Every structure is written in structure tokens, then in C-alpha cells.
Amino acid sequence: MKRKFFIDTDTASDDAVALIIALRHSDIEVVGIGVVAGNVPLEMGVQNALYTRELCGSNTPIYAGASQPLSRELRTAQFVHGIDGMGDIGLDLKGRQPDVGDAVDELIKSAHEFEGVLELVTLGPLTNIALALQRDPTIANKIKRCVVMGAVADHIGNVTPVAEFNMWVDPEAVEVVLHSGMNLEFVGWDISRKFAVITQAESTMLRAMNTPLATFTIDIQRVLEKFCENETHLAGFDLPDPIAIAYAINAGVADEVREMHLVVETHSPTTEGMVVMDTLGVLHQSPNALVVTSARHDVFMSMLMDALEA
């Protein structure tokens, strides 16, 4: 029997690749995709998810969710992924309709329908998840696990010196999720920065696969590639959401996983959105999350290539 996934995404160029990996994996049934505002405004994220679903030939339902964080103004990452979130390469990203239903309500329904087996993967800000937990706190014990792409175990941020984007957009939502009692597993941007960078040689190799999905995957990173060169100083472009979804599917992507107590900063102007990980246990608090601290690039690349085959 296929494993049941629900994916929550703020669909931009790396989210789209993550969706491809999940939608095309033979062992996974994605029972629903919720979209949240984050990388791009909500409607744009919905269109990007629908376009990606179409490319994959999937009929997985896609639902629109929260258009802004719990209590803050939306701050997007269009400077990272392009105005349309997909590299500004001229894709037709208009006119598609999401499925009927609210992403938050549909997550709650799925948690009850697939109690004990549903695996939740979050690729964007945690707004939809926090709203679902506020509406129905019992889902925390019904969802088997929640894999979060967010935070940084080495506390080196990509939007402030110490904060990762997904957590920074809606830290109040992160706080709700961290206190929910849900089985949380974090795959941070540090894992992407260290183990999911696609070098120029690898990019050329992926493009040479000459499949529609491989070409799409490389083309939509155009703006991200420049951002990584100029701002995060990587030797190529990195794929945080794809390595998170790869780990959610295959634990062998991780080389090291640690239990830690995590707290999020919601007030400090210097460190807002920072998820502080008690790496030494000095707080003497029970762990509330698993954190991937090392990963295998080769396993990730193999899964990516499998997903992009014709």
C-alpha cells in the first residue's frame, strides 16, 4: 500500500521540483496539496502548483490556504525566485483553477481520514499548519509525522544572519507548531546549502536528460542561480524543498539525525524568525523535534534523477 502524504507549499522554483519528486514516486500517494503565501503571494503559488501538477500528469487535489501570516504582513521571496516564482522564463501561469476546498480544512479532513498514517511535509511558512492546529488540536496526534523544510541547525540564515526564510515569514505559526506535540522532523536550509547544491556540471547533466521535467527543473532556477551566486555564495543553485521531500520519502537521504529542543524567536528585531536549537541540551528541556544535521548528496541526486526521467 502506498504511503499517504499531504504537502503544504508556497510554490516557487524549488517547491515545484519537490512536488515532481513526490508526485512521480511509485511508493507515495499525495492525497492533497495545500498552498500558502510565502515565496510568492497565494494566488501565484496556487498557479505554480497547478502548472507543476499538469506537467506531472497528476490529478492530486490542490487547495488554496492562507494568504498572509497569522499576525504579520506577508514578506515574499520574489527577489530569490523571480516575480512569478518560477524564474521569470515566460511560463503560462494563469487561468487554472484550484480544487474546491480550503487547504486548512482539507488537511484536518485528511488527518482524520488517514489517522496514524498521514505524513505531512511542509515546504513553506507554517501558517496553514498552525491554523489547522488551532481549529483542531487533535490532529497533532493523528498525523504520523510532519517533515518541515525550515530553520538552520548551524544558525546561519538566508534572509537574516540567523533566520531561514520559511520560519522568518511567520514565526508565530512556528511557535504554534513547536508547542503542538506533533512528531516534527526538520530539514533546514543548512542541509540544502551543504548537501543539495546543484553545480554547473550537474545542471548540465540534468539538462542533458532531455525530458520535459528535467528541462523545466533547470530552466525555472534561472533567478535563483543568480541569487545563489551573488547572495548566498554557493557553487551553483541549491534545492532546499527537494532534499526535504527526498528525506521524507527516504530516510537514507539523512546521514545524521539528532533529537533537540527547538524554540522560535518572535519578538527580537535582531533575531526574529530564528529557530534556536539547543544543540548541547543546556536548557534541560525534552526534545520536541528531530533535526537532520547531515545528508547524502549522492542519494538525493539519484532520487532527483529518477523523478525527472521520461
Q: Could you give the angle at the alpha carbon of 216 between the alpha carbons of 210 and 218, nearest 5°?
A: 85
The residue range of the domain holding 73 is 3-308
Number of domains in the chain: 1
Q: Please give the model's pTM, rounded to 2 decimal places.
A: 0.98
Answer yes or no: is pLDDT of 304 > 90. yes
Residue with cell 498572509: 68
Write the CATH number for 58. Answer: 3.90.245.10
Smallest Cα–Cα separation from 66: which of 9, 15, 21?
A: 9
pLDDT tens-digit series, residues 100-134:
999 999 999 999 999 999 999 999 999 999 999 99
pLDDT of residue 310: 76
Give the cell for residue 264. 522560535
pLDDT tens-digit series, residues 42-80:
999 999 999 999 999 999 999 999 999 999 999 999 999
Measured between alpha carbons, how far is 294 from 256 in angstroms, rounded to an integer? Answer: 5
Calculate mean pLDDT across residues 245-266.
98
